[in-house]
Amino acid sequence: MEQTLYLDRHYSLVEACKRGDRKAQYELYRLYSKSMFNVCMRILNHMGEAEDVLQEAFLDAFQKIHDFRQTSTFGAWLKQIVVNRAINQLRQRKVQWVEVEEAEYVGEEALLQDETEWEVERVRAAIQRLPDGFRTVLSLYLLEGYDHEEIAEVLGISESTSRTQYMRAKRKLVEMLST
């Protein structure tokens, strides 16, 4: 099977990093740190942990830069490292996932039929108040673009648990925002 190679706009920086260029590492850090920090915050909801995870993820990326094969963009590759690190940090908190039967799954579409316009800050604050499991699944699905199969694999839960956590997170979010 033929693999697609992506020509990344930061290709020259990645190549310089592979040669050990510290300035190139700093430049990649400068370009990606803010967005990757936001990913950490959406998953962890704790500034100190997010900062630590971000630093560890960049260290991992720079140590493993020779493994980057351009089958995705550098940003996508880095984001995967960041998400995995954040999820591992979350696991260290011993998040309790609620296993449920597939039969409990209710159609997601019905929950938010009446799309009311809420202020972005109010929604962001409500998401931050969600329990870790709910917030993680909701963030990965809505904000990071993962599907339930990918979420299940990354978090080590069943696909139905991912769907249920997502459904419950949306329900809880609607409840929080309607009060």
The domain that holds 60 is classified in CATH as 1.10.1740.10
- pLDDT given at position 149: 87
- pLDDT given at position 90: 81
Confidence of residue 134 (pLDDT cuts 50, 70, 90): very high
- pLDDT given at position 108: 47
Residue 77, pLDDT > 60, answer yes
- pLDDT given at position 118: 42
Span 113-135, average pLDDT: 74
Residue 88 domain flag? yes
Same structural domain for residues 106 and 152? yes
Q: Which domain holds residue 60?
A: 11-92
Whether 159 and 100 have beta carbons less than 8 Å apart is answered as no
- pLDDT given at position 71: 81
- pLDDT given at position 2: 56
- pLDDT given at position 29: 96
Confidence of residue 107 (pLDDT cuts 50, 70, 90): very low
Residue 117, pLDDT > 80, answer no
For residue range 51-72, what is the model confidence (pLDDT) as tens digits?
Answer: 999 999 999 999 999 999 878 8
Q: What is the pTM of this model?
A: 0.63
Residue 3 domain flag? no
For residue range 163-175, what is the model confidence (pLDDT) as tens digits?
Answer: 999 999 999 998 9
Confidence of residue 137 (pLDDT cuts 50, 70, 90): very high
Same structural domain for residues 82 and 137? no
**CA of residue 77 relative to chain centroid, distance:** 12
Same structural domain for residues 15 and 47? yes
Same structural domain for residues 84 and 19? yes
Span 33-50, average pLDDT: 93
Instruction: List, as one string, the DSSP characters of 93-160.
Output: TT-------GGG---STTTT-S-----HHHHHHHHHHS-HHHHHHHIIIIIS---HHHHHHHHT--HH
- pLDDT given at position 113: 40
* Residue 145 token pair: 């673009």
- pLDDT given at position 11: 87
Total domain count for the chain?
A: 2
